[in-house]
Amino acid sequence: MLTFIKTLKNPKQVFKNHYSLFSLAVILFWFKSYFAYQTEFKLGVEGWFQQFILLINPISSAILFFGLSFLFKGKGQSRMLIFINFALSFWLYANIVYYRFYNDFLTLPSLLSAQDNAGQLSGSVMALLKWYDITYFADFLILFYFVRKKKAPTIEKDNIVYLKRYLFTAICVFLINLGLAEMDRPQLLSRSFDRNYLVKYLGTYNFTIYDIIQNTKSMAQNALANSEDVVAVENYVKANYAEPDPNYFGKAKGRNLILISLESLQNFVIDYKVNDMEVSPFLNSLSKDSNTFYFDNFFHQTGQGKTSDAEFMNDTSLFPMSQGAVYVNKAQNVQQALPAILNQVGYNSNVFHGNYKTFWNRNEMYRSMGYNNFFDAEYYNMTEENTKNYGLKDVPFFDESVTIMKKLPQPFFAKMITLSNHFPFGMDEGDTDFPVPELTDDSVVNQYFQSVHYLDDALKQFFDNLKANGLYDNSIIVMYGDHYGISSNHDEAMAKVIGKEEGEEMTPFDEIQLQRTVFMIHAPGIKAGVNHNYAGEVDIRPTILHLLGIDTKNYLEMGSDMLSPEHNQIVPFRNGDFVSPQYTFVGEKFYDNLTGEKLPENPEGGEVMIESVKERLNMSDEIIEKNLLRFYTPAGFLPVDRQKYNYLKPTEEKLKFYKTK
């Protein structure tokens, strides 16, 4: 590259040989890609560090691909270079056009279902092409011109040396790029939460390579499985089914189901006071309301997929994957999920979320699950004032959602995903009058209380709004904290919060106790109360379905009805740790729940518990990794045709319809 820059001083020498042409191709392509990132995609780049990563991310792929031209000798060298440039330009341009319509990037699955996508695109494709799009092929034209007019000598003898050099350079540049990206956004590849993020950090071309690897892996796992694999899972699930309690079964039949994901809401905040002020007064009152089932031993079971894992569990009653997120890596799997089950008994199922639809690949996953509507950021007023980090603040979110909800045919299923109480929890001036307490030396922990208070107040307003709009009495409102908010990085401050003595450290046992998240089912008019059963997120679905009068015995689920006398109270975490009413198993050791003390040896029955947890996680992994639900259809269930569902950019009329009060 440096040699090339030097040669620019003497233009006659610019095309000394193929190496100069290669360098020119890399530079032009680099700038073109960067220009496209800045002008065509909404990548949400913030701060100079992210700007820098965005700037450098096209380099590695440009060197890698153009470097392949050194594989050839003679005329083949420049022809290959031009061909590669055309192919990459075409790919970039295809992404641009696709993004203009779908607000999303091309992926292998979207190409494989191209017929379907093309159908929706074809009507508007002309409107998506702009006159200035020719600039996306400008470098191709320039290179073409030089190759035709100014034939540069080729590199004959050392071409393989050059090839190796550039492949090596490309890998190094990529590793630097990835390293910087990981610094800014840890676990970028293993969590891979949003295509937008991957493109922002790694660029469209590296993203494509990543996408191809992920999907090929998944397809290979699929191809190796067969219908016999499901038999063992079926037997396991049937043997572990918990009969519903007749006192509760069908108690909420026909009611609307409102299922609210409370971002990062841990259970320790319930009844917690700072400076004599209740942090969550509304939830506290709900927890004592005789119409609320409040589970005070409820644990989240999420893995790297965070919010999406929690969603996945309450939609399917299966565990998330040990690595990555089902929503991202297995979105094409066959599902027999909550929305489809409810649709088939006359419900209309919807998701409300004030963030963009590509986050956690939701727009693909919801198609497999059969959600009728996905009201994402496009439907909300995403003004500066209304938003913070990931999207819409909870007060406007609930408020605008009720306006939409009123228009839905009943009974409906509304899954609502809140956002404000997300790490690092800072609220804007004027959002709440609850002060940030100076309880600990850790500002994240202190701010958590304020942000929880904001969420609590938003919920209260939502309940009032439901009442005012006649949507309260005929609904059940299920609320769950999706995962922890305060990670173990904040143990020192948390030790103080949970009342440890000065200098006393948090133990693994304490950390597990803090994985309790809020879980309540508020059912107006239904006799409920506090319930101390141990349970987790996989247990949500059977509990709700039984309350709605739908028996889950034919579904392959890993959870059991929390209200059933036969409910399994061993709650596995994704890594094989678990809790039960008596013991906590963490880091290969048992702790006594009463004393919090580590047991010197495994208690009686301990091994059996460990094995049962392993087996349950394995069964779930089998279903997900091998896509086994395609070989099993529950009696009376109609398989979901994912092609029938799509969450396109809403038209003006649709927006007007849903947004008017």
Q: Which stretch binds Mn ion (CB under 5 A): 3-11, 112-120, 262-270, 360-368?
A: 262-270
How near is the Cβ of 264 to ligand GP9 at its closest, in Å?
7
How near is the Cβ of 281 to ligand GP9 at its closest, in Å?
24
How near is the Cβ of 483 to ligand GP9 at its closest, in Å?
7
> Helix-strand-coil percent breakdown of the chain, rounded to 5?
50, 10, 40
Long-range contacts of 222-227 (CB under 8 A, 24+ apart): 222/626, 222/627, 224/626, 225/626, 225/627, 225/628, 225/631, 226/631, 227/631
How near is the Cβ of 302 to Mn ion at its closest, in Å?
8
Decide whether 32 or 306 has the Cβ nearer to ligand GP9.
306
If one asks whether residue 302 binds Mn ion (CB under 5 A), the answer comes out as: no
The answer, yes or no, to whether the previous bond of 411 is cis (omega within 30 of 0) is yes
If one asks whether residue 307 binds Mn ion (CB under 5 A), the answer comes out as: yes
How near is the Cβ of 197 to ligand GP9 at its closest, in Å?
11
Decide whether 249 or 366 has the Cβ nearer to ligand GP9.
366
Decide whether 294 or 299 has the Cβ nearer to ligand GP9.
299
Residue by residue, DSSP assigns 616-652 as HHHHHHHHHHTTGGGG---TTPPPP-GGG---PPPPH
307 is catalytic: yes
CA distance 293 to 522: 6
Contact 268, 511 (CB under 8 A): no
Would you tell me the crossing angle of helices 18-40 and 47-67 to the nearest 10 degrees? 140
CA distance 394 to 400: 10
CA distance 558 to 316: 9
Which listed option, Mn ion, ligand GP9, none, makes contact with residue 147 (CB within 5 to 8 Å by class)? none
Give the nearest residue (CB) to ligand GP9: 306
The answer, yes or no, to whether the previous bond of 424 is cis (omega within 30 of 0) is yes
Contact letters (x/-) for ligand GP9, 420-439, by CB under 6 A?
--x-----------------
Region 209-248 residues binding ligand GP9, contact defined as CB under 6 A:
none
Residue of 107, 204, 307, 552 with catalytic role = 307
Choice from 482, 539, 577, 625 touching Mn ion (CB under 5 A): 482
The three-state secondary structure class of 338 is: helix
How near is the Cβ of 482 to Mn ion at its closest, in Å?
4
Contact 470, 251 (CB under 8 A): no
**83 Cβ contact list (under 8 Å, min separation 6):** none
CA distance 77 to 71: 8
**433 Cβ contact list (under 8 Å, min separation 6):** none
Contact 265, 520 (CB under 8 A): no
- 86 Rama class: left (phi>0) / alpha (psi -120 to 50) / beta: alpha
Decide whether 307 or 627 has the Cβ nearer to ligand GP9.
307
- 523 Rama class: left (phi>0) / alpha (psi -120 to 50) / beta: beta
Decide whether 59 or 377 has the Cβ nearer to Mn ion.
377
If one asks whether residue 355 binds ligand GP9 (CB under 6 A), the answer comes out as: yes
If one asks whether residue 517 binds Mn ion (CB under 5 A), the answer comes out as: no
How near is the Cβ of 389 to ligand GP9 at its closest, in Å?
9
Decide whether 82 or 262 has the Cβ nearer to ligand GP9.
262
Which listed option, Mn ion, ligand GP9, none, makes contact with residue 321 (CB within 5 to 8 Å by class)? none
Which residue has tokens 């790297």? 304
CA distance 341 to 633: 12
Choice from 77, 117, 214, 307 touching ligand GP9 (CB under 6 A): 307
Contact 326, 311 (CB under 8 A): no
Decide whether 359 or 591 has the Cβ nearer to ligand GP9.
359
If one asks whether residue 359 binds ligand GP9 (CB under 6 A), the answer comes out as: yes
Choice from 390, 412, 509, 573 touching ligand GP9 (CB under 6 A): 390
How near is the Cβ of 307 to ligand GP9 at its closest, in Å?
3
Which listed option, Mn ion, ligand GP9, none, makes contact with residue 574 (CB within 5 to 8 Å by class)? none
Would you tell me the crossing angle of helices 652-659 and 394-405 to the nearest 10 degrees? 100
Q: Which stretch binds ligand GP9 (CB under 6 A): 95-103, 145-153, 333-341, 414-422?
A: 414-422
If one asks whether residue 266 binds Mn ion (CB under 5 A), the answer comes out as: no
Which listed option, Mn ion, ligand GP9, none, makes contact with residue 390 (CB within 5 to 8 Å by class)? ligand GP9
If one asks whether residue 306 binds ligand GP9 (CB under 6 A), the answer comes out as: yes
Q: Which stretch binds ligand GP9 (CB under 6 A): 16-24, 106-114, 415-423, 440-448?
A: 415-423
Both tokens of residue 565?
A: 């006398």
Per CB under 5 A, residues contacting Mn ion are: 263, 306-307, 482
> Footprint of ligand GP9 on this chain (CB under 6 A)?
306-307, 355, 359, 390, 417, 419, 422
Active-site residue set: 307
